[in-house]
Amino acid sequence: SLCSAGAPNLSYQELKDLKKASVLHIDVRERWEIDRFGKIPESINIPLGELMEALQMDPTEFKDQYNQKMPSKSDPVVFSCLAGTRSKQALAFAMSLGFS
């Protein structure tokens, strides 16, 4: 398992390779940061403050809100932010909800 609690950092190329294999990429930056610095292609933006609620939504509600299929607890997910601090928090949140 790629993220088995070690919370590894990925290079840009590693992320690009992972995205070819249907990995859900969640960008936990704030919306204003996306507006200012740009969206990472094929990522979905769920600001860190919304993440816990989002990962506990009904799958239909998640799809309506984020235009993306909700990940199952065993689906591969990559979190990103600007410097790595929020993405580590996002990983901890997801793992606390039972995501592997």
* Active site positions, annotated: 81
Q: Name the token pair of 18.
A: 């992972």
Q: Are 42 and 25 in contact (CB under 8 A)?
A: yes
DSSP states along 9-44: ---HHHHHHHHTTT-EEEE-S-HHHHHHH-PPTT-E
First-residue to last-residue Cα distance in the chain: 8
* C-alpha to C-alpha distance for 78 and 17, rounded to whole angstroms: 12
